[in-house]
Structure formats: C-alpha cells, structure tokens
Amino acid sequence: MSVLKYFDLYFKLISAGVRAQLQYRFAFVMRIVGLITSYTGTAVTMWIMLYQFQELGSWTFYEMLFLFAVAVLSWGFCIILFFHFRGLDTYILNGTFDRFLVRPINPFFHFMAMKFDVASFGQFIFSIGIFIWVSFELQLDWTIGKSFFLLLSVVGGILIQGGLLVIISALAFWTTKSEQFYWVAMFPARNLTNYPLVIYPKAVQWFTAFVIPFGFVNYFPAAVLLEKETPFFPENIGYYSPLVGIVFFAIAYYIWMLGLKRYKSTGS
C-alpha cells in the first residue's frame, strides 16, 4: 500500500474513534478541564518556587514556563499518536493483539491508528496560551525562522517521546509488561524535563542528552530560542533536535518490529 493510502486510512480510522469519544460530552469536557488544571498546577508550583528565589539555575519564571510549554505541546501530539502504546501488554495478555496481525496492513500502523485521544486539546489550549503570555512578557521576536524552528523541534519532541513509548510497548513482547514501565520510568523522566536540565548532576544531564534524548524535547530547543547557555554542551545543540527525533524513532520502530517477530500469541 502506498503512503497516501495509509494517510487516508489513518483519518478514516481515527475519525470513527473521535466520534465515539464525543458521545460522552461531559466526560470529554471534564478530562480537558482536568488536564489544564494539572498543568496549571505545575506552573503555579514553579511560580511559588521562584517567588522567593527569583531564578533556578539562571532560568527565570517566564523562561521556565516557556520550557514547560514546549514539552506540553509536543506531549499533546504524542498522546494523540502514541499514548495508547503503553497498554500493549493488556492486548497481548488478553489475546486481542492478534487482530492487528490478521489484516492486510502494517501492524504497527494499525495499532497506532487504533486510538485518537481528543482530550489532548487540553495540552494545546494550555501550551498555546503560555506561548502567547510568555512572548509578551519576554518580548520574544517571532521571526519566520524561529517559528519554523519551534515547529521542527516540536516534531522532534513528538518523535523522541513517541519513540520511547514505542520502545516501552515493545518491552511487552519480551516481558508481557509495558504499562508499568511507563509509570515507573517515563512518567518520572518526563517530570524531570519540566525543569532546566542544567540543575541536575552531570551524569543525569548526559544520560538525558545522549541515551534517552529527552533533552532534545524541550531543554536544548528552548535554550536556542531564548538564547540561553547550555553548560557542558556545545552551543546551539538544540538545532539537532529534529534529526535526533528521526534517528531515535527509527531505532524504536526497529525494536518494535524485532519484538513483533518474537511474538507468540498467548492463545486461550
């Protein structure tokens, strides 16, 4: 099948999912309210933290908000595309994963198009609101080049975080566990990157830059856009964010396919 056909199919599959979710109007609104509340909560925590101390590792409140918003924006897209990957273990254990294998399309694609979480509008509303606010406060000059770079690094962020979700789900092929790995490893790691990496021990910074490249999701790109220094790392390393995203996602996809080959149905 051609790529175009896959696009067409993706939108057909998800539009059914979206319509289903919109049937529960109240639940839909509540979830968006909930998401915006908890992100605002983190922002308020940052504000109180800096109420007495002014700055955290040379980052001011507004700069930290900006850093946070970059992460939230790409995470929003990531939820739409990949968040349900963490639940692959349930499909394997219940034996329902087999239905993704018996259809004449790529199983990875089929699994990906299975779900489309509309509540991520919460992330978009929050992050765009923050971008506008911070741009006024810091008088950011949004040239075409900068806007384009932000867009590209958001794509990079989606691929990095999505790639990690894909790797976590692939673990289910070997261990029949994945959801738990998300909550143990990725959830805390995502929280870690809400704050500028410069405050962490060097080993942690190095790890989040080159092993699980979360630094390229928001810290490095935000440092480029805000013209901030990134000690211990080359200047403007943030420009590599889209490239890192592509490479990391390719590795993740390869691991997932490797796991799929190993997959044996649980039967029952």
Partner 1 sequence: MFRFRLYWTFTKKAFLRSAVYRFDVWSRLGSNLIFLLMWGSIWTALYAGREEAGGVSFESMLTYIVVSQFLSGVNGAGTPLWEIQEKVRTGDISLELMRPFDVPLRYLFADFGSVAFYILTALLPLYTVMFIFMDLTLPSAWETWILFIVSAFIGFLIRYCIEMAFGLLSFFLVETGGIVDVFYFAMSLLSGSVIPLWFFPGWLEKMALYLPFQGIYYIPNAIFIGKISGTEILLSLGVQLFWAAASYLLLRFVWNHASQKIVVQGG
Question: From the CB of 152, what's the least distance to partner 1, in Å?
Answer: 28
**Piece of 12-20, 51-59, 135-143, 224-232 that binds partner 1 (CB under 8 A):** 51-59
User: Are the beta carbons of 152 and 73 closer than 8 angstroms?
Assistant: no
35 binds partner 1 (CB under 8 A): yes
Among 15, 16, 18, 41, binds partner 1 (CB under 8 A): 41
Compute and round to an integer the Cα radius of gyration of the chain: 19
- The amino acid present at 31, given as its one-letter code, is R
44 binds partner 1 (CB under 8 A): yes
179 in the Ramachandran plot: left (φ > 0), alpha (ψ -120 to 50) or beta?
A: alpha
Integer Cα distance of 3 and 249 in angstroms = 18
Residue list 194-213, contact with partner 1 (CB under 8 A) = 195, 198-201, 204
Among 2, 104, 139, 188, binds partner 1 (CB under 8 A): 188
Structure tokens at 60: 């001011």
User: Are the beta carbons of 248 and 160 closer than 8 angstroms?
Assistant: yes
231 binds partner 1 (CB under 8 A): no
Integer Cα distance of 114 and 76 in angstroms = 17
Contact positions vs partner 1 (CB under 8 A): 24, 26-27, 30-31, 33-35, 37-38, 40-41, 44-45, 48-49, 51-53, 56-57, 177, 180-181, 183-185, 187-189, 191-192, 195, 198-201, 204
